[in-house]
Amino acid sequence: MKRILWLLPAILLVAGCAAGSGATTAGPAGQVGRGAADLSVSKPGVVAAPAPGQGTEVGNGVPVPQAFDTSRSIILTATIAMKAADPWAMADKAELVAKSVGGDIIGLSQSGSGDQRVASLVMRVPSDRFTDTLRQLRALDAEVVSSNVDGKDVTDQFVDLKARLTAKQAEEQRYNALLTRANTIDEILKIDSALSNVRTQIEQLQGQVNSISARTQFSTITVSISPSVAPVGSTPSAWDPAKTVAQALATLAAVLRGFADVAIWMLVFGWIPLVVLALALILTRGRRNVRAPA
């Protein structure tokens, strides 16, 4: 009994030490766990990837919208209407923008003269530079009147054409295999006819696939530029004495010309009133003479 009483404090001391060490160990471990969780939420130098459709950020945190989903086959077109002091010169700048992104000009029209010049151009640019091209065009020294972007999703049509093309190509291989095993002239002619028909369909499908592929790889942008007209009264004109003198002389000439016209009319038709007046005087005197003897 005495041994148990002597061993009991030792057992309690050992148990207390073990509990304390366990609590001390658990504390730092919990802190490390919380630190790892915090680092996973906000880790310096790591930026979370943007959600699909939100675009990325460049420069001073300015968002750059994604014009289209790169995983889809989309035919992109855009129209921009601008006003510039010299539309022809602005058309040249727009052409340089198209060439700087790897595009080209497929249509250009320039007409008018002086302040009435107008220009219109159609450019074809790579689809992956479509947004960049629009941004550069809007940054030109011109007033953007309107801007319209249109996208046509042809993913389903493109996938369907490729599937049909693959099926026709497999059918062509089967006909080629049958042609090698044909024994009679009749079999050869029938297989060759079917093979020609399949090859025609393959060429048509391949052309459609190539056309859609080209239209999705390159986008079309139409830019129309008209002359910018300064608003009336925006800048008061300076006083010009010479202009005032010229206007006064022109007015004086018009007045003198009017007097001259009146004089000519009087010379031409002035005798008519005199004749009428003379006739009136003669008639009046005749009546007086008739009444006098009476």
In a domain, 53, yes or no: no
In a domain, 275, yes or no: no
Tell me what pLDDT residue 202 has.
92
pTM over 0.75: no
End-to-end CA distance of the chain: 194
Tell me what pLDDT residue 228 has.
85
Tell me what pLDDT residue 11 has.
53
Tell me what pLDDT residue 156 has.
85
In a domain, 10, yes or no: no
Q: What angle do CA 178, 180, 181 make, to 5 degrees?
A: 65
Domain count across the chain: 1
Distance CA 221, CA 91 (A): 13
Distance CA 281, CA 222 (A): 86
In a domain, 141, yes or no: yes
In a domain, 3, yes or no: no
Query: Average pLDDT by consecutive 10-residue portion of the chain (294 residues)?
Result: 48 51 42 36 34 36 45 85 91 92 91 88 91 92 90 85 91 89 87 90 91 86 86 59 84 86 80 80 75 58
In a domain, 118, yes or no: yes
- Is residue 200 within 8 A of residue 58, CB to CB? The reply is no
Tell me what pLDDT residue 256 has.
86
Q: How many other CB atoms are found less than 10 A from the CB of residue 275?
A: 9
Tell me what pLDDT residue 43 has.
34
In a domain, 165, yes or no: yes
In a domain, 18, yes or no: no
* Residue numbers of the domain that contains 83: 74-231
